[in-house]
Amino acid sequence: MNKVALVTGASSGIGRELLDRFAADRIDIVITARDEAALGKAAEELTAKYGIAVTVIPADLSKPGEAHRLYGEIEKRGIAIEYLVNNAGFGNYGVFHESPAQKMDDMVQVNVATLVTLTRLFLPGMVARKSGRILQLASVAAFQPGPLMAVYYATKAFVLSFSEAVAEELTGTGVTMTCLCPGPVHTNFAARADFNHSRIFQKSHVATAPEVADYGYRALMDGTVLAVHGFNNKLLATIGRFIPRRLIVKVVRWMQEKRG
Ligand X SMILES: NC(=O)c1ccc[n+]([C@@H]2O[C@H](COP(=O)([O-])OP(=O)(O)OC[C@H]3O[C@@H](n4cnc5c(N)ncnc54)[C@H](OP(=O)(O)O)[C@@H]3O)[C@@H](O)[C@H]2O)c1
Where does this chain bind ligand X (CB under 6 A)?
A: 9-15, 33-35, 38, 59-62, 87-90, 110, 137, 139, 182, 184-185, 187-190, 192
- Shortest Cβ 14–ligand X spacing (Å): 4
For 180-198, the DSSP string reads EE--SEESSHHHHTT-TTB
Is the Cβ of residue 27 or residue 149 nearer to ligand X in the bound state?
149
Is the Cβ of residue 127 or residue 236 nearer to ligand X in the bound state?
236
- Would the CA dihedral through 46, 50, 55, 61 be positive or negative? negative
Q: Which residues contact 115 (CB under 8 A, 6 or more apart)?
A: 86, 136, 159, 162
Q: Which of 50, 93, 152, 215 is catalytic?
A: 152
- Shortest Cβ 206–ligand X spacing (Å): 7
Say if residues 10 and 39 touch (Cβ distance below 8 Å). yes
Is the Cβ of residue 53 or residue 56 nearer to ligand X in the bound state?
56
Is the Cβ of residue 155 or residue 176 nearer to ligand X in the bound state?
155
Give bridge partners of residue 132 from the DSSP assignment.
175
Residue 6 three-state SS: strand
- Shortest Cβ 116–ligand X spacing (Å): 14
- Shortest Cβ 210–ligand X spacing (Å): 11
Give bridge partners of residue 6 from the DSSP assignment.
30, 84
Residue type, 34: R
153 is catalytic: no
Residue 35 three-state SS: coil
Give the residue nearest to ligand X (CB). Answer: 13
Q: What amino acid positions are annotated as catalytic residues?
A: 152
